[in-house]
Amino acid sequence: MSNCPSFDRCSSPLCPMDEESLTKGQWFPGEAICQRHWGQEGTPAWIKRQRRLNRRLREVKDPGYFTVSMLKVLHGSSVRTRGIDPNSRQSEEAWISGRLADRASTGNEARERGEIQPPSPGLAQESGEATPAGSVDKEVEREVASG
């Protein structure tokens, strides 16, 4: 992390250059967001999602915390979006599974109404759609390795 040019002035609990924060870090809306990647073309999508959550959850009391894995599967957000309550026993995997199940059921309902077409095989991976919770960790590892 000390090789980051923003290291001395950054207080973000999730740092794309710190492997430990990518795997174990927790971020609450309203906390600092990585400054190093702001405005750069290579900004990870999960940092963009942090910014969106900060705007949408500004007035929300107790929005819960988010991890990098959770931010990676979070494609839409609203004032109703919640992370994990730090006082609950809900696991990150359970939150991710619930989010993916909600997205799948919403998509199935829309397909049944004829509003959207079923996805082509392999399209989810190419388009950056969410992956099952087990493969999210591999995605985090690849991002750390690519620096």
What contacts 24+ positions apart, CB below 8 Å, involve 42-48?
44/16, 44/143, 45/72, 45/128, 46/14, 46/71, 46/72, 47/16
94 alpha-carbon distance from chain centroid: 14
Name the amino acid, one letter, at 124: A
All structural domains of the chain with their residue ranges: 7-146
The pLDDT tens digits of the residues spanning 89-128 come to: 999 999 999 988 887 776 665 556 565 555 555 544 444 4
Q: What pLDDT is recorded for position 70?
A: 95
pLDDT, tens only, 17-52: 888 989 999 999 999 998 775 555 678 889 989 999
pLDDT of residue 126: 46
Better pLDDT: 43 or 133: 43
Q: Which tens digit of pLDDT belongs to each residue from 67-87? A: 999 999 998 888 889 999 999
